[in-house]
Amino acid sequence: MPPKNAAQNVARLPTDVRDLLQRSAGMPRGLALLHRAPIETVAVRLGVHPDAVERARAALESPEQRASAIEEFVRAAQRQEP
C-alpha cells in the first residue's frame, strides 16, 4: 500500500533527485529545463553529473514518483519566493 502522506512520498525520492529538483526550482522554467532540455545543458546549468539528470528525469516519468517529484519542486519554489 503506497504512503498517504506527501512527506513520505518525497522521502522515497533519491537524495540526488530531490537536490536537483530543489536546484531547478530556483530557475525560471526550472522544471521544464530539467525535464526537456538537453541533458548536457541541464547538467552544466545545475552543476551536476548528467547521470543525475537522467535519474531525475526517470523520476518525473515514473508513475510512482512523478507526483512526489513535482511536490518537491513546488515546495522548493515556494521556499524561494520573496
- Residue 12 grid coordinates: 522515497
Distances (CA, A) of 8 to 2, 34, 42, 69: 9, 23, 27, 12
The number of folded domains in the chain is: 1
Residue 30 included in any domain: yes
Q: What is the pLDDT of residue 8?
A: 55
Query: For residues 33 and 37, what is the distance between their CA atoms, to the nearest angstrom?
Result: 5
Residue 1 included in any domain: no
Q: What is the pLDDT of residue 10?
A: 53
pTM of this prediction?
0.80
State which residues of the chain have pLDDT below 50. Answer: 1-3, 11
Residue 51 included in any domain: yes
Residue 55 included in any domain: yes
Instruction: Say which DSSP state 68 is in.
Output: H
Structural domain including 72 reads 6-80
